[in-house]
Amino acid sequence: MAPSHTMRCCKKGLNWIPVLFINLVIGWSYYAYIVELCVCKYKLLFFRQFKAARYLVVFHIFFFMFTWSYWKTICSRPEGPSKAFCLPKAEKELYEKEERAEIQQEILKKVAMNLPVYTRTPGGAIRYCDHCQVVKPDRCHHCSTCERCVLKMDHHCPWVNNCVGFSNYKYFVLFLAYATLYSAVISATVIQYFIKFWTKRLPDNHAKFHILFLFIVAVMFCISTLSLFIYHLWLVGKNRTTIEAFRAPVFSSGPDKNGFYLDFSQNFTEVFGDQKTRWVFPIFSSLGDGHSFVTRLVHIDPEQANAVLQQNGKRLVLFSTQESKPRVFLKIFF
Q: Is 284 exposed, middle or buried (0-12, 13-18, 19+ CB in 10 A)?
A: middle
Q: Are 92 and 133 in contact (CB under 8 A)?
A: yes
CA distance 99 to 102: 9
Question: Residue 160: phi, psi to the nearest 5?
Answer: -120, 0
Look at residues 69, 274, 261, 243 and name the one whose alpha carbon lies nearest to residue 151: 243
Tell me the residue ranges of DSSP E strands in 109-252.
Answer: 119-120, 128-129, 134-135, 141-143, 148-150, 155-157, 162-164, 250-251
Would you name the residues annotated as active-site residues? 157
